[in-house]
Every structure is written in C-alpha cells, then in structure tokens.
Structure 1
Amino acid sequence: MVSYCDNDAATEPQSESETELGGSRSVAVAFSRSRSVAVAFSRSRSVDLADLLFRIIWLIGFNGKYEIGALHRSGSPTFLVLKPIEGNSDILLIGYLRGGTTFTGEILGLREGNFYMYEPLHKWSTWDYYKPGYSCSLENEHCTMSTRTDSFVMDILRGLYKCDSNHLLKSLQMWQLLKGRGFRDSIQNPTWANYFPECHGKVEGCIEKVISRCANATARVSKVPRVSVSLAAQLLNSVPNLKIIHLVRDPRAIMASRHALKWTPAPGGSISLCNKMKEDYLESYMMRTTHPGRLLTVFYEDLVTNPAKTVQMMFDFAGYNFDEKEQNRLKNMTGMTTKNILNSETRGTSLRIALAWRKRVNETFLNVMNPGCNDLYKFLGYPPLKTNIDLYNSSIPLRISN
C-alpha cells in the first residue's frame, strides 16, 4: 500500500517505492513535484518511533538532504513528510585552468560533510572546453561544431550530481579522488591512506568505497574549468539543488602561470582564454535575470585580498555555515596570522602568490597577449598594464572596480 501527500500540487507522484524495514510491516515512499517526500508506514508497537524514523531516512538515502517537515500519527498508517533542507546547495565551480579553481575548489569542496569531485571532464578533454554546440580548443580560436557534445557533457555532470555510480566510476580516477580529499601527492606516497580511512590503506576497491559516500554527503561540489557558463546553465533546470559559482581571474595572471608550465602559449592560448572569459561573463550577467539566485560571480583577486569576506559571501550563497572551524581552516589555507580572521586585513601567503605573476613576466609578454584581451580588461575591471614600470608598480591594485 502506497500513500501519497503533496500540499503544493494536486498531481500524481513522480515515483514510488516500497520496502520492508525491520519491525515495520510496510514502508512506502512517494516523491512530489515540489521535491517534498511523503513516507507512509505501519509499524509494530515494539519499535521505537525515533529509531524507525532515523532508519527510514537512511534507508531511502536522504540523510543530510532532507528534514522532517510533518509527522501525522493519528490512525494507520503513519505519515512522515520530509522537506528539502534549505541551504547546503550543490555547487558547480566554473573557471579557467590556472585561474585559482584548485584553491577555491578546496575551500568549498573540503568543507566537512561535502563530497568533492575534481575536474570530472578531464578524462575526455585535456586541451578543449565545451560550450553549446561546440568543442573549442584552449590553444587557439578553433571550435568544432558538434551535435552530440551538449548531451554528452550534460549526461556526465547530471549523473555526478545525482550520485550515479556509473558516471562517478567513469569520470573519477584515483588521482582525482586524491585531489578531492586535498592530498597533493601521488598514490606512491603511503600517507595517502590517512586521507581515506574507509580504504584501510588498500587501493583496490577504494574508488568504489569513496564514491559510495556521494549520496549521503551534505552537498556535492565539483570544479569544472572545461565547460562554459552557458552550457552549465542547462543543468539548473534538471538539478534543482545546484548553484554555479563563476570564478574570474586576470587573464594575464592565468597566462603567466600557464606560460611557466608551457601550456596554451600566447597569442593563440590568450585569445581562446579571453574569448571564453568574455562569453562566460556576459552569460553570467544574463543569468541574473533568467536564473536569479542560482549563479554567483567571484573574482579571485577579491578572494586573496579579503578572503574572509569573500568566503563568507560564497558560503552564504551556498547555504553553508562559516563557523569557527571553517574560519580556522581558511586561516591555514591562506596563511593569515591574525586572531580574528573575519576582521582581518592582513595580507597572507595566498596574496603573495597571487601578486607574484607580475614579477615573472615583462613588457614583451604583455605585447604578445594584450591585442587579444585589451577590451576584456576594462570590461572586468582589471588595470591596464603596458610597460615594465606598470608591472612593478605595487600601487596599482590587482583589480579596480568595473
């Protein structure tokens, strides 16, 4: 027997399931269009009600995502209505290779209770990114039209946020899981086991054990620098708990970091980068109207110059609590040394790293890069830098208001 309750719409349930639970003669679950869940069950008097409710929530896999909205115990069966917990949104972090996404992803993804997925599209694309209808090179302006790319990418990302084990196994390799726990060395370093207590030091079967934690996580976070904002926006209708954070950084800083690694050399790489950044920023601006409250633009320069304020903004957007434990974690990550990080203006290690790019490049670098990106600097609020004097002038801020 399946009973169904939906106070928001007089519709049939979208899906139902029924199972047996120890001490309970029957348990039925129904999902409404409003994302509420109604559970109807009959039980023997010998079973503690609180224990039964706890076991039901875990059984149907909603722990950390739902809370008890109503409980009706008159008559039989008993009705339990579970409502989605406000806040604790899943987050898709979109940015650019060497644009600060690793640092920002760890701030969001390594929060206690979150499940962090590191660059799940890496397996399918190293030097390309995806936008609606196209696969585009990170090394030049070339884009290839494709009728299958959109559905392929969306299926992967949608599957990840729904904790589909097949998509998780296909997308995440062991090195990505290591990074997803904040471990920056390889599996050859035996200390990796300290980050994966569920694996007991054994690599075999570890991936399966890790991804099994996805469904019961407080929230899921992924950093995906190989997808455009416009393509990612298509996920918002099918993943209602998802929000997007778009991370922007000075393209000259990004290219300086890539140059040191011999990645995507200018001018081809810089033109590709600035084209994507412009399209992403324009799309994010339009999304404020089409998807209000679902996208937040964050500037990396704001994150490193005022980390506490910027992280507080991101956590508020995601519905996360920026408590003392998270403040201390941020303090360790940024190298800040003051006692009260919330009121701190101290410039720590993260800022020194963010400023270092200006000392690693010269006027020749700017002359190669600027033609493809000049219009973007003013658009995003970055100062014009044309000479070595400009580069070494510490009074010129990382970013000016746009």
Structure 2
Amino acid sequence: MKSKDFHGIFFKYCAKMDNFACFKTIMILCTCWILLAIISIALTGKFINEVLPIDRYIGSVSTNSKEIILGLNSTGTERTDVLAVAYMRTGSTFLGKVLGWRNDVFFWFEPLRKYGAWQYLRQNDLLCHILRPNCEILSENSIRHPKKAQRFLLDMFDCHLQPYDNMPTDINFNPKLLPPSWTEYAKCKKSMNASFTCNKLLVNSCKTAKHRIAKVLRTDLEGTIPLLKNNPRLKIVHLLRDPRAIMNSHLRTWWVRKELKTYTQIEADSIVICSRMRSDILAGKSLMKLYPDRVRLLQYEDFNNLDENVQKLYKFLNMEFTSQQDNILRSLKKDSPRDKPTSKKNVTYIAYDGFHPFDFRQKMGWNISAIVQKYCGDVLRDLGLRQFKTEAEYLNLSQNVVIDKLPFQLT
C-alpha cells in the first residue's frame, strides 16, 4: 500500500472519532513505529557482528573506508597471517615456538587435528592415512571435506571462532604446549567451563594480536591455494626435513612407534612420507613462482644457525625481532641431556632442545635408513641431502649429510 493511500484511510477513520480517541490512536501508532525502528537497528547490528564478521566485511572495502568504519590506524593493515605447514615429527613444534610463542601473536596449535588424528587432506577431495598409503574420496557433503577445513582456517584468520568453540585446539591446555595467546581462555575453561564467556576471551585475543598464525600437519600445499586467493594477508611457510630424520622421530615417539612394529609398516610409512614431500615440493616450487613474497619452503636443517635464520624468517613474515623472542631462542638452544649422542671419539655435536637435525645417524640403524632411502631417493636429491651407499658410510660422521648447500635455505 502506498504511503498517501494509508494516510487517506487513516484520516478518514480518525474523523469518525472524537479528538481524544484520535490523539490516542496517533500516539499508539507512533510508539509502534519507534519500537520497530529500534528492533530493526538491533537486528541489523547483530547480523553484521555474527553473520557477517566485521573483519570479513572490511576486507571488501578500501583502506580509507576501513579506517573510517573501525577507527583503525595504519598499523591495522600491516598484520600478517601465517600458515605453517609441516608433517608429524618434522620439527613443527620447534617452528611453532619460534613463531607462536610471542606476545603479539595469536597462535592456533594444529587446528585440523579434529578432522582425524591419523588422516590428512590431500588434493581437492582425498582423505589419506598418515602412516599408510591409503586414501578415500570424500563427497562435498562430508564434514571432513577439504573445503570445510579451508573455511575453518579462513574463519580462524578472521577471528570468527564462535562456531568452533567445541573443538578449539589439540593443546588440551598442556602448559608446555600453551602459547601466550591462549592463557586467559585456558584459565576460563578450567574455572568456569562456560563456552560462550570463554570464547569471547579467545576472540578478543585473536582480534588484538598483530599476527595470526596456525600450524597445520593435516593438509597438503595444494589445499592452501584457495586460502592464498581469499586472504591477501596470508603467507605460507612449509617445513621440510630429511625423511630419515622423520622416520627416526617416528620410531622414538611412543604413540607413533606403536603403529610401526614391522618392516612392512615402516616401508608403508616411508612411502607416505616421501609421497607427501614429493608432491609438496613440486607444488611449493610452483607457488613460490606465483607468490614469491607469500610462499616459502623451509628446511629444518637450515636452522642450525638459529638466530640469524630466525631473523630472516621474521623479515619474510613482516614480524619484528623482539627481546622476548630472543629469550625464546635462548631456551631452544639449551642442551637437552636426554638427547646427547653416545660418546664416540672425534665427534662434536650440539643438541638443541627441540632441534636435532642429524642425530638419526646415531640413533637409527642402517637397515631402517636403507628402507627410507629406497623410497625417498628423489626427495633426498631435491633436498640436497646425501644418500649413503653402505653402513660404513652411514656411520662415518665426518661425511656430511648436506652435500653442498640446502636448496631452500633462507636468504
């Protein structure tokens, strides 16, 4: 009904009433209009905050508009989101501490673990076993489909965390794994167990952080392409490691070792490790050409010169080197007695807490190393690492593992 038609009907109806009744009717209608306006404004605000998170909304407008909407200064646009991709037992916890244990970082520890403890997402529709060369094709309706994981990660970088409160992280509030950004949330969950109240603390920690970082072990590099396209602030680093060292760590970690009781199982694990690395090295080379300032392959062995290379990594990620981070690096350099090598003549080795690049030669037998080399020869060549032909060569520690220089070293 047009406005003038409504006015005509109303005044015709009002003319039949006395002045007081007409005035009363007008006041009731005005009150209703005011209430409707208030409800409309409230619902609109709720829609923007809950259905269309403000961080995602401002991502589609110009920088000047962003500053007007939220009163942001220029530092708001300097934030870097980081996806640290790795495999199980490749030094990812070490890298996580280098990146995530800073006061200016919101760090999410293994957000995709809930999609399957022993599975990882591959290509566009595969769910594969971490230790066995077995994959299944996922339908798009599956809750484990890569698109769901990609949506989750995009929401995480936008601090849209409410839908994921029941699966916050795999840290289980273990103090050794708890980054600073989760401290208040962990205290809240322990004392109150009120999801909504605690979730607001987590969202606030995320929104106030200068950098947002996630460490993922359960996706391949191909699965990160939609994230690069949808989040212009995102940078990706992929941590690679000598597959023989990965196998050594698998066999020395009780919850992995129990799955590797036979040589057949060790062979299967070797096949998976190097199949993943082969695919990701190929994808990484392509992505570094497309996104030279946003994608970088890293080698665990490159962090032998820890201070210098961590600063290079921070520079790539637009992160400052702070006094707090200097203290973290010092803690990573502490000797770890349980990991010191067995005494051998003319052997010098510095064991870092969380950093053990070449100790597999002293802790893993030649027969296991030979199995890994059988399936990973091309990967070792791509990583610039030596293949040992005999047990005598393998045990001769004067023979360096790195042939010349690491092809993906930080510069």
TM-score of the aligned structures, taking structure 2 as reference length = 0.70
The change in CA–CA distance for 1:351 and 1:238 in structure 2 (over 3 A counts) is: closer
Inter-partner Cα distance in structure 2 for 1:37 and 1:376: 48
Question: Is 1:297 paired with 2:325?
Answer: no
User: Would the aligned equivalents of 2:89 and 2:249 in 1 still touch at CA under 8 Å?
Assistant: yes
Question: Is 1:199 paired with 2:184?
Answer: no
Worse-matched range after superposition: 118-127 or 288-297: 288-297
User: Would the aligned equivalents of 2:91 and 2:355 in 1 still touch at CA under 8 Å?
Assistant: no
Question: Is 1:228 paired with 2:220?
Answer: yes
- RMSD (Å) for aligned C-alpha atoms: 3.1
Inter-partner Cα distance in structure 2 for 1:139 and 1:197: 33
Amino acid of the structure 2 residue aligned with 1:37:
S
The structure that is helix-richer by fraction is: 2
Inter-partner Cα distance in structure 1 for 2:76 and 2:101: 22
The change in CA–CA distance for 1:167 and 1:377 in structure 2 (over 3 A counts) is: farther
Inter-partner Cα distance in structure 2 for 1:40 and 1:335: 48
Worse-matched range after superposition: 382-391 or 246-255: 382-391
Matches within 5 A, 1:131-210: 131-132=122-123, 133-148=125-140, 149-173=145-169, 175-176=170-171, 178=173, 182-183=176-177, 195-196=183-184, 199=187, 202=191, 204-205=193-194, 207-208=198-199, 210=201
* Percent identical residues: 24
What's the CA shift string for 1:288-323, capped at 9, x where partnerless? Answer: 2222211111110111x1111221121011111113
The change in CA–CA distance for 1:114 and 1:352 in structure 2 (over 3 A counts) is: closer
CA offset at residue 111 of structure 1? 1.3
The change in CA–CA distance for 1:324 and 1:184 in structure 2 (over 3 A counts) is: closer
The structure that is strand-richer by fraction is: 1
The change in CA–CA distance for 1:134 and 1:241 in structure 2 (over 3 A counts) is: same
SS in 1 for 2:165: helix
Question: Is 1:334 paired with 2:326?
Answer: no
Pick from 58, 73, 78 the counterpart of residue 67 of structure 1. Answer: 73
Pick from 56, 63, 80 the counterpart of residue 89 of structure 1. Answer: 80
Question: Is 1:37 paired with 2:65?
Answer: yes
CA offset at residue 363 of structure 1? 1.7
Q: Which runs of 5+ in 2 are unaligned?
A: 1-43, 47-56, 336-348
User: Would the aligned equivalents of 1:89 and 1:242 in 2 still touch at CA under 8 Å?
Assistant: yes
Amino acid of the structure 2 residue aligned with 1:247:
L
Corresponding residue of 2:397: 394
Inter-partner Cα distance in structure 2 for 1:197 and 1:214: 11
CA offset at residue 125 of structure 1? 1.1
Inter-partner Cα distance in structure 2 for 1:219 and 1:323: 14
The change in CA–CA distance for 1:386 and 1:204 in structure 2 (over 3 A counts) is: farther
User: Would the aligned equivalents of 1:106 and 1:182 in 2 still touch at CA under 8 Å?
Assistant: no
Amino acid of the structure 2 residue aligned with 1:279:
S
CA offset at residue 38 of structure 1? 4.2
TM-score of the aligned structures, taking structure 1 as reference length = 0.71
